[in-house]
Amino acid sequence: MANKSKGKAGSTSRNAKAKDKAALAHFDIDNPVFPKAIADAALGSGGYPYDTKLKRNDFDAQLLGLQVELAKLQSAIRGTGERIVCLFEGRDSAGKGTCISYFVRHLNPRSARVVALTKPTETERGQWYFQRYVAHLPAAGDMSLFDRSWYNRAGVERVMGFCTEEQHAVFLREAPEFEGMLVRDGIRLFKFYLEIGREMQLERFHERRHDPLKQWKISDIDIAAMSRFEDYSAAKEEMFRFTHTATAPWTVILANDQRRARLEAIRSVLYAVEYEGKDAKVIGKPDANIVGAGPKFFTTR
C-alpha cells in the first residue's frame, strides 16, 4: 500500500510539473499579447469552483453592507479594548494588498494600521526573527493588518534560499509558540492565505508588466517565481502542516475572482467576532466553496 501511495503522489507531482511547463511554454511576459489558451483557463485554474466572476453590482452591494459592519466593529473594539491582527499571505499576485485596501477603506487609520515591511535591515537581521513584527502589533482597541508577515520565512525565503534550512526549521517550530503567546494575551489572530491557480497567476503577472499603473507591483522575485510555482506549493503545504493549529488556524481563500476574495476576507472576520450592533443577516456566512481549511484547501490542485 505504501508503495502504491508513493507512486500516486509521484505521478501527481509529475503531472503538475508537466502542466506547469506547458503553461510556461506558451507564455512570454514581455509579449503584450496574452495567450488565449491561458486566458481561457485562468478563472478555473487550481480547481476554482465558479465559472464566472461576481458581477460588479453584486459586489458593490455586498461590500457596502460589510464595510458598514466593519465600522461598527472598529467602534466596538475601541470601547472594549480588544485587539485584532489579520495576516494576509499567499502567492505573488494573489491580491493580498487589494484585499487589505478594501478592508480598511472606511476605517479610522489611527486605529486600523496596514503593515507592509520591506526586507530586513542589517540591524533587524541581527535580532530575534519575530522582533521587528512585534513592534507593529496593535494596542488596546486597535487592529493591525499585515501585508505579508513573519511567514515570509516559510515562503519566499524558503523557496529563494534567503534563509538556511536550519533557520526555516526553527521558524516552523517557533511560529506556533509565538502565535500561542499572542492569542493567550488576548489578541484575535486571523491568518489568511490567498490561493490562485497557475494560469491566473500568469495572467496577473502579465497585466502588471503591461499596465503602467501596476508595473511597480512586479519585481525580480515575481519574475523568478513564475518558474517556481510547484516549489511554492510544496513550501505552502509544509507551512500549513506545522503552523495550522487549534490556537491559530489558517483560513484559505481561493482568490481567482478578486471580488469574491475581498468580500470573503472581510466576511470571515465579521462572522467570527461578536460586537455591539452586529447584523448577522448582512454578514451571512463565509462561502464554503472558496473559504476553509483542511486537505481540500491546503493541497494544491
Q: Tens digits of per-residue pLDDT, 18-43? A: 555 666 667 899 999 999 999 999 99
- Residue 6 falls inside a structural domain: no
Q: What is the CATH number of the domain that holds 178?
A: 3.40.50.300
Domain assignment present for 214: yes
Q: Give the mean model confidence (pLDDT) for residues 213-217.
A: 89
pLDDT for 5: 38
Of all residues in the chain, the percent with pLDDT exceeding 90 is 85
pLDDT the model gives residue 98: 96
What mean pLDDT, rounded, does the chain reach? 92
> Is 149 domain-assigned?
yes
pLDDT band at 209; cut points 50, 70, 90: very high
3-state helix, strand, coil in the chain (%, to 5): 55, 10, 35
What digits encode the pLDDT tens for the residues 41-82?
Answer: 999 999 999 999 999 999 999 999 999 999 999 999 999 999
Task: Kindly state whether residue 24 falls inside one of the protein's structural domains.
Answer: no
**Is the pLDDT score of 12 beyond 80?**
no
Instruction: Tell me how crowded residue 140 is: count the other CB atoms within 10 A of its CB.
Output: 12
6 has pLDDT over 60: no
Average pLDDT over residues 98-110: 97
The CB density around residue 156, as the number of other CB atoms within 10 Å, is 21
Please check whether residue 17 lies inside any domain of the structure: no
Give the number of domains in the chain: 1
Residue 140 has which C-alpha cell?
488596546
Which position has the higher pLDDT, 24 or 101? 101
Instruction: Using the predicted structure, report yes or no on whether residue 214 has a pLDDT greater than 60.
Output: yes
Q: Compute CA distances 67 → 267, 268, 272, 273, 290, whole Å.
A: 10, 13, 15, 15, 20
For residues 255 and 301, is the Cβ–Cβ distance under 8 A? no
Report residue 16's pLDDT band, with 50, 70 and 90 as the boundaries: low
Assigned C-alpha cell, 243:
503552523
Q: In 81-197, which residue ranges form alpha helices assigned H by DSSP?
A: 96-104, 122-125, 131-134, 156-160, 165-184
CA–CA distance, 156 with 162 (Å, rounded to integer): 8
pLDDT band at 235 (very low <50, low <70, confident <90, very high): very high
For the record, the C-alpha cell of 111 comes out as: 486605529
- pLDDT at residue 8 is higher than 60: no
Q: Is the dihedral of CA 137, 111, 152, 47 positive or negative?
A: positive
User: What domain range includes position 129?
Assistant: 34-298
Instruction: Please indicate, yes or no, if residue 115 is contained in any of the structural domains.
Output: yes
Q: Which residue reads 489572530 in cell numbers?
A: 189
pLDDT at 2 over 60: no
Cβ–Cβ under 8 Å, residues 300 and 90: no
Top pLDDT among 8 and 256 is at 256
Inside any domain, residue 156: yes
Q: Is residue 108 part of a domain?
A: yes
Q: For residues 194-198, give the mean pLDDT.
A: 97
Nearest to 197 by CA among 98, 117, 99, 290: 290
